[in-house]
Amino acid sequence: MPDSNRSTPVPVTILTGFLGAGKTTLLNRILSEAHSKRDGVCNPVSNV
């Protein structure tokens, strides 16, 4: 019998890199893909 107190794992991607490395560009491409599934995005340094 499954344990009802256990939560389902949630996949998380952490995007890091140096200034000018293309993090925002990559994030914009990931978010614009039709197959991308997302619930929340946090990008405190740049505009998305």
Above 60 in pLDDT, residue 48?
no
pLDDT computed for residue 14 by the predictor: 84
pLDDT computed for residue 39 by the predictor: 67
Gap between the Cα atoms of 2 and 22, Å rounded: 43
Amino acid letter at 7?
A: S
Nearest by Cα to 15 from 42, 35, 47, 38: 42
Gap between the Cα atoms of 7 and 34, Å rounded: 27
pLDDT computed for residue 21 by the predictor: 92
Per-residue pLDDT tens over the stretch 8-36: 888 777 888 898 999 888 888 888 876 66
pTM: 0.56
CB 2 within 8 A of CB 8: no
